[in-house]
Chain A
Amino acid sequence: MTEIKGWIDGQVKSNNVVLFMKGTPTFPQCGFSGQVVQILDYLGVDYSGINVLESDDLRQGIKDFSDWPTIPQLYVKGEFLGGADIVREMFQAGELKTLLEDKGVLGNA
């Protein structure tokens, strides 16, 4: 496994919820990344935001890792959930909240 893929694999496995995005949660630099940040913040889930714009290897590596051509990409407990469309669709259907609760990553505050 290439170095970048190993690093990505480590991030995906060591964070309950990790969002590979353009920009950072406080400063998203793309509308789609911003949408997912808003949804995760609304649900109050703790997540790690990784800015793929920091390295071309990372930006391409994450697309190869998941065989998914776009950014953002959301992972929960090591599993690839999808990009902005799927996260929004799941959120609107109430499935995202249920999934996060089932995986025990949503604090029942």
Chain B
Amino acid sequence: MPMSPSEIEKLIKEALPDATVSIRDLAGDGDHYAAEVVSEQFRGKNRVQQHQMVYDALKGNMGGALHALALQTSAPD
């Protein structure tokens, strides 16, 4: 069952309350998105760890309901 941008944003914000999340729909099919996530909690973590935090927030949807989520993560400047 594809996911909506608002569902993705909600899950990410539940895990990373301070995050600013911007989501782009890549294919209009509900499972190919690009997301940019900025959160203080990423500071000091490498890219793999940052992306894993987002995947954990998505509670197993990643790779299942959500086929592709092109991620860009960073800590605020």
Q: Which 8 A-B pairs have the closest CB atoms?
A: A69-B63, A69-B62, A86-B47, A70-B63, A85-B71, A82-B48, A85-B70, A69-B55
Can you list 22 A-B contacts with CB-CB less than 8 angstroms, sorted by A residue number? A32-B68, A63-B63, A67-B52, A68-B48, A69-B60, A69-B62, A69-B63, A69-B64, A70-B63, A70-B68, A80-B48, A81-B48, A82-B48, A83-B51, A84-B70, A85-B51, A85-B72, A86-B47, A86-B51, A89-B47, A89-B72, A90-B47
Cβ–Cβ < 8 Å partners of A32 in chain B: 68
The count of residues in chain A whose C-beta lies closer than 8 Å to any C-beta of chain B is 15
**Residues of chain B having any CB pair with chain A under 8 Å:** 47-48, 51-52, 55, 60, 62-64, 68, 70-72
With the chains together, A10 CA to B1 CA distance in Å?
Answer: 36
- Nearest chain-A residue to B64 (Cβ)? A69
Q: State whether A68 and B52 are in contact (beta carbons under 8 Å apart), knowing that A82-B47, A86-B47 are contacts in the complex.
A: yes
Kindly list chain A residues whose C-beta atoms are within 8 Å of the C-beta of B60.
Answer: 69
Q: How far is the CA of A84 from the CA of B47 in the complex (A)?
A: 12
What is the CA–CA distance of A84 and B62 in the complex, to the nearest angstrom?
14
CB proximity of B68 to chain A, nearest CB, Å? 7
Distance, CA A86 to CA B64, complexed state (A) = 20
CA distance A79 to B38 in the complex (A): 26
Option from A68, A81, A89, A90 in Cβ contact (under 8 Å) with B55: A68
C-alpha spacing A90/B52, complex, angstroms: 17
